[in-house]
Chain A
């Protein structure tokens, strides 16, 4: 009985303060990093990690929440043109949030297994498709360096064809824009903010170093989930 009162009070409070939550609009918050900012040195400096996480990722989340609110309003009012106009902001900021969330999980300090090459089915699949992990890395680095302007380079698995693919996307476009059945395994941010303070314009050096902190364990887990 007391529990019910508690629940009702909470809902009432929710009604008055967060009308959106009642309608089901979920806002997003910045996920915590599972490691310290400085834990990925010397591959990625602590400064970059802090800025990247606390400023850039946070900005994407803030703007994504704002865009979602505006979209919600527009849909409720039946304002089709505003709803469509907001799509680019949603793709950009929402994509930024999604991509960076994957990125943080893709990295791990060397002490916790970062950089250790994959074993098991993922290792085997890589050897099948690319010859060796080294060759895959070389291919991804070449594609990442060739991205003009801002973007991401991905290792993905096509869950329908059960095949590994290397793809690049521009700006913050999520990987699904390149193929609806692509599941991201590794995403490497090649926006300048991801490496500029440390590597300046030498993106190839950044790409070479980042493999020392890639969390292959997590990547293998995702792969085994998609291709058991």
Chain B
């Protein structure tokens, strides 16, 4: 039972009439220390007393009385604490002011501290209601709650938690510049050149209607990179594609810094924020699932 560990059953000293042995005293002291550390203020009570069996098994504070002067206090036996943190809010791996002046500290504070946190809390609240969705990893939970296009109410929260985690990791201080190694090769192969990829990415970001995300994905079936957009909380995971980078085009992501100037935001992202290291690592991992062809091995 989970509550027994969090819910220390304080054991009492015996009734006032008997002598307390030294053993018992030690146990009593240990109990008292444990009670205090848990924040209980109740008396420690002896588990060996027969009437305690009711106390041990019930979830309600027992209503029986002991000997005169030893009335059990209600708060000795508490109800089990509700588990309400299935998924946690993960902070970005850089400080909030590390992305200045391209993404202000204020934006990080509000975007992560209020929006992202809000999604985590609402996800946990949904899961608290009923355990049918308990036990999935976040990826699996997104796929399950997407329900093939007919999303359950938990989908929005779950997907946005994942999306934001992914987004923070898609950026780094001192980001921008060019991708390197295999990722650059693949981009040149699928888009012609890096600059035409960059142009297409920004163009896609600017023509997105409403709230959504722009992604660089590795398409599993077509075995190539592509730029896709999704609306609201949807993520390419639901189509089984492997995302490598994302750009949050919800207004809350850029409004404090750029007001309605989406073009500047998208350009700044590409020039100064995007983490090609993260994208490279993700692509390397993706290649365990998608065969992009044999590497070119030069023969002497």
**Residue from B156, B209, B212, B260 with most neighbouring chain A CB atoms (10 Å):** B209
Residues on A with beta carbons closer than 8 Å to the beta carbon of B251: 150, 191-193, 196
Q: Quick check: A51 and B260 within 8 Å, CB to CB?
A: yes
**0/1 interface trace, chain B 157-183, chain A, CB 8 Å (1 if under):** 000000000000000000000000000
User: How far apart are the CA atoms of A148 and B252 in the complex, in Å?
Assistant: 13
Inter-subunit contact B209/A149 (CB<8 Å): no
Contacts of A200 in B (CB 8 A): 110, 114, 252
Q: Verify if B194 is at the interface (C-beta below 8 Å from A).
A: no
Q: Is B259 engaged at the interface, CB distance under 8 Å to the other chain?
A: yes
Given A51-B260, A201-B118; A150-B255 close (CB under 8 Å) = no
Which residues of chain B come closer than 8 Å to A197, judged between CB atoms? 255-256
Q: Tell whether A51 pairs with B259 under 8 Å between CB atoms, given A148-B156, A172-B209.
A: yes
Q: Which of A164-201 contact B (CB under 8 A)?
A: 170-172, 191-193, 196-197, 200-201
Q: Select which of A59, A88, A151, A196 is within 8 A of B256 by beta carbon.
A: A196
Closest to A191 in B: B251
B210 touches A171 (CB 8 A): yes
* Choice from B118, B212, B233, B260 contacting A56 with Cβ under 8 Å: B260
Cα-based distance from A200 to B250 in the complex (angstroms): 13
In the complex, B211 has a CB within 8 A of chain A: yes
Bound complex: CA A56 to CA B210 (Å):
12
- Across the two chains, which residue of chain A brings its CB closest to B209? A92
Closest B residue, CB atoms, query A193: B251
Does residue A55 face the partner (Cβ distance < 8 Å to B)? yes
CA distance A171 to B260 in the complex (A): 16
Q: In the bound complex, how far is the Cα of B260 from the Cα of A59, in angstroms?
A: 10
A36-65 Cβ-contact flags toward B at 8 Å (1 or 0): 000000000000000100011001000000
Q: Is the CB of B211 within 8 A of A149?
A: yes
**A88 to B212 CA separation, bound complex (whole angstroms):** 16
Q: 25 A-B contacts, Cβ less than 8 Å apart?
A: A51-B259, A51-B260, A55-B259, A92-B209, A92-B210, A148-B232, A148-B233, A149-B210, A149-B250, A150-B211, A151-B210, A171-B210, A172-B209, A192-B251, A192-B252, A192-B255, A193-B251, A193-B255, A196-B252, A196-B255, A197-B255, A200-B114, A200-B252, A201-B115, A201-B252
